[in-house]
Structures are given as C-alpha cells and as structure tokens.
Amino acid sequence: MKNNKRYKLIILFCLCFLAVANVNAQSDWQVPAKDNENLSPFLFDDDMILEGRVAYENSCTSCHGTPGQDDFTPMSPPPGDPAAEQFQAQSDGSLFYKIKMGRASMPKFEDAFADDELWNIVAYIRSFNENYKQQLPNMEGVEIPVYAMKLSFDQNVDKLVVKVLAEELPQAEVSVSAYVMGTFGKHLLGKAQTNELGIAYVDVDPALPGDAEGKVNVLVKATKEFARAKVQQDLAIAMPTEIHSAIEGRHIWSTDRMAPIWLKITFFVSVFGVWFALLFIVFGLRNIKRAREES
Amino acid sequence: MNETIAKEHLSEEQIDQDLLKNVNWGGKFKLWMGFLTVSLIICLYYYYQQLQNGLGVTGLHDYVSWGIYISNFVFFVATSLIGMLVSSVLGMMKVDWVRPVSRIAELVAVAFAMVAGLIIITDMGRPDRLLNVFIHGRVQSPIVWDIAVVVTYVAISALLLYIPMLPDIALCRDKLNNVPKWQQKMYQRLSLGWNNTAKQFRLMNRYTRMLLILIIPIALSIHTVTSWLFAMTLRSGWDSPIFGPYFVSGAFVAGCAAVIIAMYFFRSNYKLKDYITSDHFDRMGKLLVLVALVYVYFNINEIIVPGYKANTADAKHVHEMLYGHDSVMFWLVQLGGLVIPFLLILFRPMRKPLPLTIIAVIILAGAWFKRVLIVVPTQLAPYYPIQNVPEAWSGYSPTTPEIAITIASFILVLMIITVLAKLFPVVPIWEVKEEMNHNNNK
C-alpha cells in the first residue's frame, strides 16, 4: 500500500518534470540574431512553392502532418502545424535556421537539402499564410554573378557534363542539379558541385528511355549564394525508344477497322453461315407447298 | 412403352377435340388479356417518363450502371435457353416423353428471347441511337456478339416453333370453322398448303432436324456470350473463366422451372390432364434435379476457388456474399432458391404437379434474384474507391419506374405466350397421334 503511494508520487513528479521541460524546451529555441535576420535571396514563386511541397511531403509530413490540418504527430515537444501562428510568427531566417540545424527530435536537414532547397520549403510553409509579405534582402553593393551554362554528354562514361561560366570564366563550387522533364513533373537525375574548371558531372542511367532519337528534355539548375541560373534543353542522353500507340496494329482493343483477322473471320463466317442456313430453310418452305401440288 | 404417352383409350377425334379446344377467344381470355393490357399501359407510362427524363429516373448511376434491367435481361436469356434443351437435346436423343411438352418449352423460349432484346433497349438512355450499335459497333465487343446471337436465337426459336407446327396449323385450318375470318385466312397462309403427304413430312422433318442441330451451338453461344459481357472485364466477381458454363447451367434451372409453371397452367386451364400427365411433372422434376445439381456444382466452384484465397479482390467479393453486405440475399437465393428446393424434389411426392409447380415458382424467383447478385455487387466494389460522389452512389436500389418497366417485360412475355397459346394448340396434336398409333401397332 505504502509502496504503491510512493510509486504514484514518483510518476506524478516525472510528469511534472516532463511538462516543465516541455514548456522550457519550446520557449527556449534561441536562433542567433544574425540567422534570425537572414533573408531568402530568391523570390518565393509558384515554382519554389511546388518544389518545397514535394520536399515537405517527403521529409516532414510524417511528424508535422499536412499544413493547416493540425494533424502533426503527438510528441514532446510537439512539432506543431506549419500553417499555425507558432511557425508563421517567426522570421524567414528563423524557420530556415531551425530546419537546417534541427534540435532534439527535430532532425537536422543541413546535409539533406542545399540552401535553395531549404528556401523552397520555407516558401511552401509561407504559402499557407495569406498575410505574409516576403521581405527581400538589400542587395545594394552585392555583386551577383550571372551564370551561363553549357550542357553536353559524355557517351563514354554516361555522364551529363555541366559547365558553369560567368563572363566567360569557369565558376567553381556551384551546386548543380539536373532533372529530366516528364509528363507529370520533373525527375531528379542527380546533383553535383562544379570543380575548379567550372565543370560538374551528373550520372545518367543509360537505360533511361528517350524519344526515337534518344532525346529527353533536361532541366539543369545552378546555385551559389545569391546566384541562380536555369537551362532547359533537349539532349540525346537516353536510350532511343520507339513509342507505339496502344491501339496501333490489330488487337482486341483497337478500332473496329483494326480488329484481328481471326476474329473478323470467325464472327462473320459464323453469323453469315447460320443465317445462310436459316434462309435456306425459310426458302425451302416453298418446297413444302409444292409437295402438295404433286399429290 | 411408358405411361406418359399411353393414350390407347383416346380416339383421334377425341384428341383433336381436346387439343383444339383451347383455340378460341373466350371470356376468360378477354378478361386476362384486358388485365394484362391495363397493367402494361400503367408500366409503359413509366417508360414514357424514362424516355422523357432519361435514365435519371432509375436508381442507376456512375458506379452501378447495370441494375435490374441487365439482371432481368440475363434472367430472360437464361430462361429462354430451355427451348434448346427440351426440344433439341432431348428431342434428338429420342426422349419421347418430352414431345407433348416440347411446344410449351418452345413457346417459353420464343417469348423470353423476344422480350430479352427489348429489355436491352430499356437500359439505354438514348434508344433513338440504337442503330449506332450496328453502324459503329466493334466486332471485338462482346456486346456486338450478344446482339448478333440474340437476334439469331429468336429467329431459330421462332422457326422451331413454327415448322413442326405445320400439321397442326393445317388441322386448325380444316377443323376450326367458327373462328373469325382473319384467323382462318391466317391458318390458310401459314399452313403452306399442308395436306399430310409423305413428302411434306419428309421435308418438315429434314428442316426441323437442321434447326435442332443449329440451335445447340447458338443457344450455348447466346448465354455464353451473355456471361462474357461480364467475364471479359477485369472486375472482381466477374473475371471468371467458368462464367460461360456457370451461366448455361443456371439457365437450364430457370428454364425448367418456367416450363413446369407453364405446363401446370396449361394443364389446369386447358383441361389437358390426359396429355400433360403427372408423369410429365415427375420427369420434368427429375430433369430439374439433374440441371440443379450441375448448377450447384458450378456455384461451389465459383465460390470456393476465389474465396479460398486470402486477400484478393475476388476473395473480398466472395466474403461480401458469404457473410458481408450481400449475405442475406445470397443465402436466401442459394439455400431457399436452389439447395432446399433441389433437395425437396428428390422426393417423389414433391414431384406431383402442384408441389412441383410451387417449388418451380420459388426456384424461378430465386433465379431472378441470383442474377441481381451476379450483376450488382461487383459494380459496388470498384478497384478505385468510391469517393467525392453523392452518398447514394455507394449503394443501389431500383426506383419505381425501374421496377414497373421490369414488370412490363414479364407482362409482355405473358401476353406473347397467351396469344400464341390461343392461336395454336399448345400440345403437338400430330405427334400425340403418331405416338399413339405407333404404340397401338406394337
């Protein structure tokens, strides 16, 4: 009996501690002032929001749920709903920092996403806030290089070769990501960094199906700090594939004109055969009439 | 020699008199036809509604687009198959006892087959576009095969009713002097100048034999193709390779029951106890046991093979039947409409005319609901979930117009049988006589 009471007391104590720790933890996530004021160098457009959404659905939904639905996983401290005040009241820099650095059960995404991809996620979180007005950094005095990209394909090693230049000079340490454009969106081909020659190599699966000439539509993005560039172009990097119409040729499922010969023959021979026999009988009925006249 | 056809005590005149007696337009007939006509008009009013407002007046929707119209169609095609079994298979095997009831079977076949075609049209929202099916139909489509084969079956059944009836039509022409003028003219024309010459009999037998042979593949196709309308799709509960024989065996059950009911009706109303004897009922009962046994066998296959598997869509379909959403109707139909009646008719007293007819009515009703169970539940279990649609679409219940139009199809069948049975003798007179003479000479 006595033991039991003590036991209960211990539980109560633990619960209190947890609650206090919880409140503490929540209020305590300090973001360094510099990081707090950090601003996205990119304008949050629909493209960013869409990419952010894909990243969010892949990496965050399991804990934070669908934004706006308050269906985050119950944990301590609670992850919270990104559409809620708790998130939206923070600065862009603060969200960026927290996602990047993580804390306790909030994973650290620094290694998983490049900076521009982290901003995509922030753009997505912000898209749930109607009153949000993006604050852009003061770019005065900051020189943003204008990138140009040259794409080619190295057949010997099946690599997409991306050369990043600014004013004819090769750019090192630029993050390059390459995508193949499909009917339902883009598929990541690979990511790489440019070397000191301004060249990045992205592996290409040689079995990737292309059009009849092996072409696919490739999108390549290059980012470094505030600089960003995009090219989209058809490249013969994939396996030449002949695409056949599903109703091409003679099939059960094609048009009437293209019905399989065996089926047409079977159908028409049986139908006409039977009706021929029936007409033979119907006309034969005249013989019955004639048979009377004979007698 | 068996007692079914032992009619030594009857003279030919007596037979003519007995069997031609029903060919008249008596008061009873007029009353019955009047009743049928009024009912039909009421039902047709609902069809008019459907023509005006479209299929929206029915309970059909995007998910269940085949409701009781199509179940009813399947039922009608099924019932009409009996003509083939009785007149062709048994006829060619020289099973003599069926001869007096073969015309009744043929009447049932013609009436149900004819109306089956019409039922398809009632399931169309735009019947005015019916011709498009013929103009734009694809030979690959089981629906096109179905149309071809239903039309052919109606034609063969009609010929098979008509040609063996020639001697009897001639008899009507010669003996019935007090019928209206148009009717006499009709017999005159239809009898094709029949005067019982040996050559005429030879020709008639030859054509009949041809038809009897032709009708076997056609009848098998008609119901196999009807089953393919379902089995050729990839849907749980329909995607079954034994659907053809399953349907055909079920068809014989429904058809036997329908013929037994018709036999009973003609026997008591037309006073044909000497011609359609209780021995006929006994034998039809045994035939029913045989076909029901085959059908039970197919049912077991249809249920246990997919049902044994753990988690396929077909297994779910079967479990839904056995103890799920459709289980009440399922067990009523399977036990009440098939197994129990089948066990009952194993006993001789149950094969007496009245009990057998009552059992046949129950079997026929069960057969009708069985078709609903085949057609509807599958459509309520699509592979994609039913979502973002009106609440009512996750179920199906037929509306009043739908039920009325379905009843109309039964009224039409009754009208066709009634009129034909008033124009012509329902028991083949010449065959009865031939049988009798044959027996007497032995």
Mean pLDDT score of chain B: 90
Q: What is the pLDDT of residue A2?
A: 53
Q: What is the pLDDT of residue B178?
A: 82
Band of residue B166 on the pLDDT scale cut at 50, 70, 90: very high
Tell me if residue A170 falls in helix, strand or coil.
strand
The CA distance from A244 to A236, in Å, is 20
Tally: H helices and E strands in chain A? 8, 8
Task: For B310-319, write each residue's pLDDT tens digit.
Answer: 788 888 889 9
Band of residue A21 on the pLDDT scale cut at 50, 70, 90: low
Q: What is the pLDDT of residue A99?
A: 95
Best mutation target among A275, A292, A294 (most B Cβ atoms within 10 Å) is: A292
Band of residue B161 on the pLDDT scale cut at 50, 70, 90: very high
Q: What is the pLDDT of residue B1?
A: 36
b/e for A131-170, b at 16 or more Cβ within 10 A?
eeeeeeeeeeeeeebebebebebeeeeebbebbbbbeeee
Set of chain B residues whose Cβ sits within 8 Å of the Cβ of A282: 159
The pair of three-digit structure tokens given for residue A190, joined into one six-digit string: 């690979």
Give the A window 275-294 contacts with B, CB below 8 Å: 275, 277-278, 281-282, 284-285, 287-289, 291-294
Shortest CA distance from B156: residue in chain A: A278
Q: Please determine, for residue B352, whether its predicted confidence score (pLDDT) is greater than 80.
A: yes
What percent of chain A shows pLDDT beyond 90?
52
Structural domains of chain A sorted by starting position, each given as residue range(s) with its CATH number in brackets: 23-126 (1.10.760.10), 148-236 (2.60.40.10), 245-295 (no CATH)
Q: What is the pLDDT of residue B386?
A: 82
The pair of three-digit structure tokens given for residue A53, joined into one six-digit string: 């959404």
Task: For A225-275, write each residue's pLDDT tens digit.
Answer: 778 888 999 999 999 998 888 778 888 888 888 889 999 999 999 999 999
Band of residue B416 on the pLDDT scale cut at 50, 70, 90: very high
b/e for B314-333, b at 16 or more Cβ within 10 A?
bbbbbebbeeeebeebbeeb
Task: For B29-50, write each residue's pLDDT tens digit.
Answer: 899 999 999 999 999 999 999 9
Band of residue A1 on the pLDDT scale cut at 50, 70, 90: very low
Centroid of chain to Cα B407: 15
Whole-angstrom CA distances from A174 to A100, A164, A188, B427 are 19, 8, 17, 98
From the list B140, B159, B200, the residue facing A263 with the nearest CB is B140
Task: For B246-279, write each residue's pLDDT tens digit.
Answer: 999 999 999 999 999 999 999 998 888 888 889 9
Contact A281 B211 (CB under 8 A): yes
Task: For B317-344, write each residue's pLDDT tens digit.
Answer: 899 899 888 899 999 999 999 999 989 9
Angstroms from B353 CA to nearest CA on chain A: 37
The CA distance from A98 to A118, in Å, is 10
Set of chain B residues whose Cβ sits within 8 Å of the Cβ of A259: 138-140
What percent of chain B shows pLDDT beyond 90?
62
Q: Please determine, for residue A12, whether its predicted confidence score (pLDDT) is greater than 70.
A: no
Q: Please determine, for residue A4, whether its predicted confidence score (pLDDT) is greater than 70.
A: no
Tell me if residue B75 falls in helix, strand or coil.
helix
Q: What is the pLDDT of residue A224?
A: 84
Q: What is the pLDDT of residue A24?
A: 47
Shortest CA distance from A252: residue in chain B: B140
Set of chain B residues whose Cβ sits within 8 Å of the Cβ of A288: 166, 192-194, 200, 203-204
Residue carrying structure tokens 């029903």: B22
Tell me if residue A150 falls in helix, strand or coil.
strand
Class of domain B19-384+396-430: mainly alpha
Set of chain A residues whose Cβ sits within 8 Å of the Cβ of B200: 288, 291-292
Best mutation target among B166, B200, B206, B218 (most A Cβ atoms within 10 Å) is: B200
The CA distance from A229 to A231, in Å, is 7
Residue from A93, A91, A42, A49 nearest A67 by CA: A49
DSSP states of B344-388: HTTSGGGGSHHHHHHHHHHHHHHHHHHHHHHHHHHHTS-SS---S
DSSP states of A218-287: EEEEEEETTEEEEEEEEEE-SB--PPPPTT-SS-TTS-GGG--HHHHHHHHHHHHHHHHHHHHHHHHHHH
Band of residue A14 on the pLDDT scale cut at 50, 70, 90: low
ipTM of the complex: 0.86
Q: Please determine, for residue B4, whether its predicted confidence score (pLDDT) is greater than 60.
A: no
Q: Please determine, for residue B106, whether its predicted confidence score (pLDDT) is greater than 80.
A: yes
Task: For A74-115, write each residue's pLDDT tens digit.
Answer: 888 899 999 999 999 999 999 999 999 999 889 999 877 878
- Kindly state whether A142 is in contact with chain B, defined as any CB-CB distance less than 8 angstroms: no
Amino acid identity at B155: A
Q: pLDDT: is B9 or A280 the higher one? A: A280
Amino acid identity at A40: S
Through-space distance between the first and last CA atoms of chain B, rounded to whole angstroms: 10
What letter would DSSP give residue A32? -
Q: What is the pLDDT of residue A15?
A: 59
The CA distance from B166 to B211, in Å, is 15
Q: pLDDT: is A246 or B359 the higher one? A: B359
CB pairs under 8 A between A and B: 70
